[in-house]
Amino acid sequence: MAESSMLNYTKYRQISRLRLERINNHLDKINKPPVLTIESPDGDLIDCVHKRKQLALDHPLLKNHKIQKTPSDMPKGMKVKRDDNAGSNDTNASDMKAGEGKGRVREDSWQMWHRNGTRCPKGTVPIRRSTVHDVLRAKSLYDYGKKRQQIPLSRHSETPNVLGGNGHEHAIAYTGSSQEIYGAKASISVWDPSIEVMNEFSLSQIWVLSGSFDGPDLNSIEAGWQSDSYQATGCYNLLCAGFIQTNNKIAIGAAISPVSSYAGSQYDISILIWK
């Protein structure tokens, strides 16, 4: 889930006609024909795409795949909604809620595109439409939708605020176990920090990983919010192979609203990653 900035990357770059043509051809492949399009106040276009037409199901291994609407099991004390709108994807479920703390908002009205009151119909999923501007923020068309390698943060640091070798400042809390872990949950405060220069970003996230922390076998699932260009390895959201969305209320990658303010109302989202 991302809180995106309005920093215009295109003014820093010259774009050739050939490159622009290649980008548009790629966007034609990943932006699926919508049943309905909703314009968000921040300029995003939210396409309501039939859940069987989303990008992940183009993969040959998912031909005739039966979409799992809800997890088969949940942690103790958590309820599973048995309807077409439950769940976030086939491999991990996200239970997201805004408005806890001082501020309160309706549970189904906490993203920017919700403000005009229009929702995606049953049987569709809301997908933020990818744009030329989005691709240009990446170094190349190949990099778009992927997360580039970053210098790993030492997990042995005892300092709460750590300035990494790549200039990233971190405040972290982590836990590990020799036993098998099936998931994790966190409540994360939501803010909209100012972004002023290219490659500047801010994020807050929960991160479940396997493999060695600083080795080539690291695999992770991440969920949270961010402003602008986080760089690591892997892929983002619906551009990940096999990532299937079933929820028709949450547009993954669209802006969260409202957000917390200094000495004012505080808002957070609760996120669950569960296998």
Task: Give the per-residue pLDDT at 161.
Answer: 52
| Per-residue pLDDT tens over the stretch 13-41 | 677 888 889 889 999 999 999 999 999 99
Report d(CA 52, CA 66) in Å as an integer.
Answer: 9
Task: Give the per-residue pLDDT at 215.
Answer: 66
Q: How many domains are there within the chain? A: 1
Position 4 in a domain: no
Position 3 in a domain: no
Q: Are 92 and 221 in contact (CB under 8 A)?
A: yes
Position 159 in a domain: yes
Phi, psi for residue 103 in degrees, rounded to 5: -90, 150
pLDDT tens string, the chain, 275 residues long: the values are 444 444 455 555 677 888 889 889 999 999 999 999 999 999 999 999 999 999 989 888 888 888 887 777 778 777 666 544 434 444 333 444 444 445 555 556 789 999 988 999 999 999 999 988 888 776 666 556 555 544 444 444 444 455 555 667 778 887 777 788 888 888 989 998 887 776 677 888 888 887 766 667 777 777 766 665 444 445 777 887 778 898 999 998 898 889 999 999 999 988 888 87
- The domain in which residue 255 lies consists of 10-274
Report d(CA 90, CA 92) in Å as an integer.
Answer: 6
Position 2 in a domain: no
Task: Give the per-residue pLDDT at 90.
Answer: 42
Report d(CA 84, CA 28) in Å as an integer.
Answer: 28
Task: Give the per-residue pLDDT at 264.
Answer: 93
User: From the CB of residue 61, how many other CB atoms can be counted at a distance below 10 Å?
Assistant: 7
Position 111 in a domain: yes
Task: Give the per-residue pLDDT at 45.
Answer: 96
